[in-house]
Amino acid sequence: MSETAKITVEGKTYELPVTTGSEQEKAIDISKLRALSGYITIDTGFKNTGSTKSAITFLDGEKGILRYRGYPIEQLADNAEFLEVAYLLVYGELPTKAEYTLFKESITHHTLVHEDMRQFLEAYPAKAHPMGIMAASLCTLSTFYPESQDPARPTEAIDLTIHRLIAKIPTLAAWAYKNAMRHPLMYPLNKFEYCENFLYMMFANPSEKYYADPVIVSALNKLLILHADHEQNCSASTVRIVGSSQANLYASISAGVSALWGPLHGGANQAVIEMLETIKNDGGGLDKWVQKAKDKNDPFRLMGFGHRVYKNFDPRAKIIKKAADDVLSKLGVVDPVLDIAKELEEVALNDQYFIDRGLYPNVDFYSGIIYRALGIPTEMFTVMFALGRLPGWIAQWKEMMEDNQPIGRPRQIYTGENERDFTPLEKR
Ligand code: CMC
């Protein structure tokens, strides 16, 4: 007999079905609860609410496990190419050699961005944050491909949009950066692989021959893989909920970029480096900052610490910490900020406040240090996260559409005024 859960309210007991996932995680299905009892459930911030079933990413926050489509993140980060992982997330299986060749050819074919996009770009102020430009440009792409706005698209049209997005996001990101510097834009050079092409568009200039350091290419590949998906986080849930209204994929991804921008989510990587630099400029003493982070009357938090689901360690942070050491030593970079980061990690990990709350360095704690070593400016860090996360957002959107999920529309418990009569302005 299948398992059920019982809920008793106002003396009446209701039996609700239990759902079990492939890793034995369990959920009580409350979808009929209101119809049966008149009650809804409330869970601000969705701390205990599963918004969907999903076959894309499994993570176990207690054990520090992260797998894409069953493959451990450690194996993918060490052995795969980012586009291979993108294919895996979006289409569910690792590509065969033939499938991978075709996929890469298609991505390479679409790297160019319509020339008219330059006019939008050039209109932004030089100080425009590149995440604002990214969100706007990705949504603007939909206007160049009006057929993508039709919700009843055939599979080939969806695939074309997916390939265009993956192909064009590095071009848009590099252009946002070059434009801020008022440097000439570099067009994609399709003899290069994905990561190398991005670095070329970021760092080459028209008058010099470009060479990408393989250490940098490989570090970038790893970072993009580590960020590629993270199940129902803030931005993925945003992409799903926007997509559930049948808004087009470009608009849904653009919404994901906006959600990622915040410092509590992807924007943390920028915030971490800014925090470490503030600590360094303040003399490097850590006590004051740790005390501030613990003080409930002080809004300061240790950026790069804590995670909604990881309470023992973030497996991505473990890989990134090692990669940061490797990259810095291979490139011969000495970064005092890395020393402060290591000290801070040590202090926080031994402090009872952080121990009691399960606050560990997350993926963003060390990623900024590698990005700095690769020459990527601080304001571009969250854009780098978006580049990596794109295939995950696409996979989440695709799964939601293929499962024919209903429009996302939570309920609420109203706490405002009860009915009252309108008073005309002259009487107020
Ligand atoms: N520094 C100090 N205290 C913290 C921190 C922190 N970084 N994070 C959580 N806490 C405390 C918080 O004050 C609360 O304490 P108490 O129980 O006494 O009220 C307790 O820990 C639980 O915090 P919470 O805010 O309820 O936890 P959450 O699961 O809602 O938030 C988080 C998770 C990531 C938003 C939060 O830990 C945070 O703000 N961290 C800093 C920002 C950051 O690094 N974000 C990147 C996350 S990883 C990249 C990604 O996937 O987005």
Contact criterion met (CB below 8 Å) for 315 and 363? no
List the beta strands (DSSP E) in 303-359. Answer: none
Q: What is the pLDDT of residues 182-209, one digit of tens each?
A: 899 999 999 999 999 999 999 998 888 8
As a whole number of angstroms, the distance between CA 43 and CA 156 comes to 39
Ligand 1 contact, 139 CB (< 6 A): no
Q: What is the pLDDT of residues 296-312, one digit of tens each?
A: 999 999 999 999 888 88
Q: How far is the CA of 176 from the centre of ligand 1 (A)?
A: 30
Contacts by 293-301, CB closer than 8 A, 24 or more apart: 293/348, 293/353, 294/351, 294/353
Q: How far is the CA of 301 from the centre of ligand 1 (A)?
A: 8
Given 129, 230, 265, 364, the catalytic residue: 364
Q: How far is the CA of 75 from the centre of ligand 1 (A)?
A: 28
Ligand 1 contact, 227 CB (< 6 A): no
Q: What is the pLDDT of residues 162-184, one digit of tens each?
A: 999 999 999 999 999 998 888 99
Ligand 1 contact, 359 CB (< 6 A): yes
As a whole number of Å, the end-to-end CA separation of the chain is 64
47's tokens: 């701390």
Ligand 1 atom having least distance to the Cα of 305:
7
Q: Does the pLDDT at position 362 exceed 80?
A: yes
So what's the pLDDT on residue 323? 87
Ligand 1 contact, 256 CB (< 6 A): no
Contacts of 247 (CB under 8 A, 6+ apart): 255
Q: What is the pLDDT of residues 113-142, one digit of tens each?
A: 999 999 999 899 988 999 999 999 999 999
Q: Is 364 a catalytic residue?
A: yes
Ligand 1 contact, 302 CB (< 6 A): yes
Q: Walk me through the domains of the chain, giving residue ranges and CATH numbers.
A: 4-50 (2.20.28), 70-261+378-402 (1.10.580.10), 268-373 (1.10.230.10)
So what's the pLDDT on residue 1? 59
